[in-house]
Amino acid sequence: MIRLIDIHKDYRMGSNVVKALNGISLNINAQEFVSIMGPSGSGKSTLMNIIGALDRPTSGSYHLDGEDVSGLTDNELAVIRNRKIGFVFQTFNLLPRKTALQNVELPLIYGGMPRRARRQRARETLEMVGLGDRMDHRPSELSGGQRQRVAIARALVTSPAIVFADEPTGNLDSQTGQEIMDIFTRLNRDQKVTVLLVTHEADIATYADRVIHIRDGLIFSDEAVVSR
C-alpha cells in the first residue's frame, strides 16, 4: 500500500541545510494498523507530510497504492489526497461555518461527485460513526468527541486507501480518546481500512498492530505489537 525507498528531506534555512529525513525505507501493507512515534524534532512530522502527500521528498521514491507519488505536481498531489488519503487531525480542522454534513461532503465536492450521490454518501458515513442525529449541527454545537467523529467521517467518505490520524486523541479526554481509538480499531478490523496513526502517547500507539519509532530522521525501531 505504502512503499518508501530511501526517503531524504532537506530544509534550507538560510545557508544551513537541515536534514529532516536521512533515508527512510518503509513498507505498510493494506489493512495494516500502524503507529508512528517519535519525539518532536525527530522528523516524524516531515515523514507524515510526505506520506500524506502534502509534501515531496528531496530524494527517494514513494509509491502509494501502486502509484509513484514522489514526483507529482501540487495539483496531482491534491488529487491523490482527495482520492487516496483521509486525514484526521488533532485539532479536528472542521470548517466552523459548515454543518457536520457539509464538512463531510467537502472532499466529495472536490472529487467532483454529483450532489445527490454525495449527500447520500456523506449521510451514510456520518451514520457509520454514530452521528446520524447530528448531521445539521455546526462544529461549535458538537462535543470534542463528536467533532472528531465528524472528522473521521470526512476522512472516510471518499473510501481512501489509507486514513491518516495525526494525534487524533490529543485534544480529547482519555474516555473520549478511547472511544475514538475504538472507532479506528473497528474500522481497521471490520471495514479493512488501512490506518496510519501518529502519536506520542505509548498507550494510544499500542492500539495498532505495529509501532514504528522515528529518531533523528531515521527509523529507530519497527516492531509488531504483542496483542493487547
Partner 1 sequence: MKILFSLSEATETIRHNKFRTFLTMLGMNIGVGAIIAIIAIGLMARTSIMEGVGELGAALIIVQPEYKSYDDQERPLRLAPEDGTNLARLFPEETVLPYLQGSADTSARGLTNGEQVFGVGEDYNLVWNRELEAGRFFDPEDHHLRRKVAVIGSRIARKYFGTGEAVGETLRVGAQVYTVVGVLNERGRETMNDGTGDTTIYLPLETYQSFFNHGWYGRPYLNYLLIRVENMDRINEIVSKTEIYLFSRYGFKNGEPRFRVSKSQDDINTFNKVFDVITLVISLIAGLSLLVSGMGIMNIMLVAITERTREIGIRKSLGARRRDILEQFLIEAVIICLLGGGIGVILGMLVSFLVALSQSWNYLVPLFSVAAGLGVSLVIGLFFGIYPAMRAARMDPITALSRD
Contact pick of 12, 16, 74, 192 for partner 1 (by CB under 8 A): 74
Contact criterion met (CB below 8 Å) for 122 and 134:
no
Q: How far is the CB of 112 from partner 1 (least distance, A)?
A: 7
Q: How far is the CB of 109 from partner 1 (least distance, A)?
A: 5
Q: Taking Cα atoms as reference points, which of 221, 214, 206, 228 lies closest to residue 35?
A: 206
Nearer to partner 1, 39 or 111 (CB): 111
Q: Using CB under 8 A, which of the segments 14-22, 81-89, 188-196, 200-208 binds partner 1?
A: 81-89
Give the Cα separation of 196 and 61 in Å (integer).
19
Q: Which residues of 179-210 are buried (b: 16+ CB within 10 A; e: fewer)?
A: bbbebbeebbeeeebbbbbbbeeeebbbbbeb
Contact pick of 35, 82, 148, 188 for partner 1 (by CB under 8 A): 82
Q: Treating both helix axes as pointing N-terminal to C-terminal, what angle do 115-128 and 144-156 enclose, rounded to 10 degrees? A: 130
- Count residues binding partner 1 (CB under 8 A): 27
Q: Using CB under 8 A, which of the segments 13-21, 49-57, 138-146, 217-225 binds partner 1?
A: 49-57
Half-sphere exposure of 162 (CA within 13 A, CB side): 26
Nearer to partner 1, 139 or 177 (CB): 139
Please report whether residue 5 would count as binding partner 1 according to CB under 8 A: no
Query: In degrees, to the nearest 5, what angle opens at C-alpha 2 toward C-alphas 180 and 51?
Result: 70
Nearer to partner 1, 160 or 211 (CB): 160
Please report whether residue 206 would count as binding partner 1 according to CB under 8 A: no
Give the Cα separation of 42 and 186 in Å (integer).
30
Binding region for partner 1 (CB under 8 A)? 49, 52, 54-55, 74-75, 78-79, 81-83, 87, 89, 93-95, 97, 106-107, 109-112, 114-115, 154, 158
